[in-house]
Structure 1
Amino acid sequence: MTEETKEPKKIDLAEAMRLKLQQKKQNQASNKQGQNGLQSTKTLKSQNTKKPNNQRRRTGGS
């Protein structure tokens, strides 16, 4: 029995994914509760930062 406790328990892929998802949800829940009041909202930036391409106007079109 001592040999079995040293080796990690073999589980199938579905079980591993289920455990990983459960752990991820717990981490997200604890992060939400902990940082709810501490994190301030981000200031919004203008998303229209790309300048239009006016090469046709400059060169006279096709």
Structure 2
Amino acid sequence: MQKLTIAELAAESVELLPGRETLLADFNVALISASNASLAANVLTVCSSASSAALQGIVVAQS
């Protein structure tokens, strides 16, 4: 970690945050829905294999 010099510290500036009532009224909501489905069947077979590919979907809605 690098130490600050007095000149660097003096050059820093600050900004006031908005009031608490302003922060409470402004919000974002993001609804996320994810699904992953795969199916493989190997029924009544001898010395065989079954493979499956998974389909994935993600939906994001932000307001």
Shared fold (TM-score, shorter chain, > 0.5): no
Greater RCO (Cα-Cα under 8 Å, separation 6 or more): 2
Structure ranking higher in helix proportion = 1
**TM-score (structure 1 length as normaliser):** 0.30
**TM-score (structure 2 length as normaliser):** 0.30
